[in-house]
């Protein structure tokens, strides 16, 4: 049996991800080489599935391997792809999964790993095929959650052990398992319908064009679409300037954060531009009827180009775009009535969208991110005019990057105070994947006293 080029492309993408390259870019490059839609979908499932379930598959490799030495990275990816075909893709025959994995091993590393790959995959197949209940037999190969809860969470639910240990201490075993389960689901495509377009009318128009669209659960202007290839999404957005891609939890957070905002306003870490578009729509007109000033800043020039492309597509955007590090933003103190800081973070709330992210993180990343976010938030607070609002957000679930940052800023800046968005005094909220069924997100609102100088 000759090697399937799609499987080889999947291995190439995984290897690029191992080198910390951008997964979306690597996957897009590979998808562009496949004219057949079925091949493109197969490739995407191979890559995303192997990354989502990497922890589970690596545990099985350790369990069935007769070698004490660590599996070389190039063969580890071969085995992850093979195990995903055996265990996660019902339409792939077992014999094809094994034979193609052996052929792939020979192609990328020569003849030496072929017997190892064949023997391991065949052992897994025989163990499960001989069991009356396949799922129970698979469970039996993993740690007992009662005796080793973190070992079970990290292997069965495929997350780093250090991360699930943090979450279990905070949420408990059952909620952490549900969080990990949600992270391993393929997320829907959520879009925000910019005013004045009517979400119901937009949904009807999409349905008439053959695209499934249903209202979201967390925000009145959210629509959920069937997941689709990035190229198809780009084509859709070109014809629908009233749509921006934005997760439901982010939309709900923006609904709270942006209520009653005023200009001049600054989006301090603005790219790729979804929240900038929401801020533009929320800003009230000035006294003379003209729109309030909106400035967008970001450190990455390439990401700013994406923001500018979005602004051009929707025919609305910032009045000024600045390439700058937010920690040294080139603006005078007290210049803005609103500063939005959606800070760069570890992204532990969006692992379902970026499955490679959980394997790139370590505990030290949280410490570094919290330090950077505190510096950004301190700088953002200094840019507020008296009475101005700081809108803080991250896609992290980690307290050090959220509550910890706000505690540090409030302690350092006596002129700041929580700014409630609800009558009950709520001014900060975390959206959890296991509770809301959306991305994990944190948002909070502070204000500067009007008598502050």
Its CATH architecture, for the domain 189-245, is 2-Layer Sandwich (3.30)
Query: Quick check: 44 and 228 in contact, CB under 8 A?
Result: no
**pLDDT digits (tens), the chain, 453 positions:** 699 999 999 999 999 999 999 999 999 999 999 999 999 999 999 999 999 999 999 999 999 997 766 789 999 999 999 999 999 998 999 999 999 999 999 999 999 999 999 999 999 999 988 667 778 889 999 999 999 999 999 999 999 999 999 999 999 999 999 999 999 999 988 999 999 999 999 999 998 888 889 999 999 999 999 766 666 788 888 899 999 999 999 999 999 999 999 999 999 999 898 999 999 999 865 555 567 899 999 998 888 999 999 999 999 889 899 999 999 989 999 999 999 999 999 999 999 999 999 999 999 999 999 999 999 999 999 999 999 999 999 999 999 999 999 999 999 999 999 999 988 999 999 999 999 999 999 999 999 998 876
Any idea which architecture 248-448 has in CATH? 3-Layer(aba) Sandwich (3.40)
Provide the angle, in degrees to the nearest 10, between the axes of the packed helices 161-171 and 149-156. Answer: 120
Write out the catalytic residue numbers. Answer: 395
Provide the residue ranges of all domains of the chain, joining segments of one domain with +: 5-141, 189-245, 248-448
Q: Does domain 5-141 have CATH number 3.30.390.50?
A: no
pLDDT at 441: 98
């Amino acid at each position: 049996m000759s090697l399937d080029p799609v499987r080889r492309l999947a291995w190439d993408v995984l290897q690029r991800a191992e080198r910390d390259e951008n997964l979306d870019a690597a996957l897009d490059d590979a998808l562009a080489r496949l004219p057949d839609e079925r091949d493109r979908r197969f490739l995407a499932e191979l890559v995303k599935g192997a990354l989502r379930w990497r922890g589970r598959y690596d545990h099985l490799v350790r369990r069935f391997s007769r070698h004490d030495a660590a599996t070389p990275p190039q063969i580890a990816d071969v085995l992850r792809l093979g195990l995903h075909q055996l265990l996660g893709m019902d339409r792939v025959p077992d014999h094809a999964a094994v034979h193609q994995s052996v052929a792939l091993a020979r192609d990328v590393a020569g003849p030496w790993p072929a017997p190892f790959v064949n023997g391991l995959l065949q052992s897994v197949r025989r163990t499960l095929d001989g069991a009356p209940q396949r799922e129970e037999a698979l469970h039996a190969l993993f740690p007992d959650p009662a005796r080793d809860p973190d070992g079970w969470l990290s292997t069965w639910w495929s997350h780093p052990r250090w991360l699930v240990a943090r979450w279990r201490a905070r949420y408990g075993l059952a909620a952490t398992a549900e969080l990990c389960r949600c992270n391993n689901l393929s997320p829907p495509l959520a879009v925000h319908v910019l005013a004045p377009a009517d979400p119901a009318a937009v949904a009807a128009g999409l349905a008439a064009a053959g695209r499934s669209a249903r209202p979201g659960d967390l925000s009145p202007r959210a629509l959920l679409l069937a997941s689709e290839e990035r190229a198809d999404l780009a084509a859709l957005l070109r014809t629908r300037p009233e749509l921006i891609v934005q997760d439901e939890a982010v939309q709900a957070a923006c609904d709270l954060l942006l209520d009653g905002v005023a200009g001049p306003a600054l989006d301090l870490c603005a790219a790729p531009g979804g929240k900038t578009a929401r801020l533009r729509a929320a800003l009230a007109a000035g006294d003379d009827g003209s729109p309030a000033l909106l400035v967008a800043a970001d450190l990455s020039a390439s990401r700013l180009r994406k923001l500018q492309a979005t602004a051009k597509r929707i025919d609305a955007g910032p009045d000024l775009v600045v390439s700058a590090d937010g920690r040294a933003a080139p603006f005078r103190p007290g210049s803005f009535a609103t500063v939005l800081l959606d800070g760069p973070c570890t992204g532990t709330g969006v692992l379902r969208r970026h499955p490679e992210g959980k394997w790139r993180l370590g505990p030290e990343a949280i410490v570094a991110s919290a330090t950077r976010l505190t510096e950004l938030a301190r700088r953002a607070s200094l840019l507020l005019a008296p009475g101005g609002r700081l809108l803080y957000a991250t896609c992290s679930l980690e307290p050090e990057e959220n509550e910890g940052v706000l505690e540090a800023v409030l302690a350092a800046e006596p002129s700041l105070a929580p700014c409630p968005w609800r009558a009950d005094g709520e001014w900060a909220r975390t959206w959890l994947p296991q509770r809301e069924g959306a991305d994990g997100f944190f948002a909070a609102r502070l204000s500067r006293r009007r008598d502050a100088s």
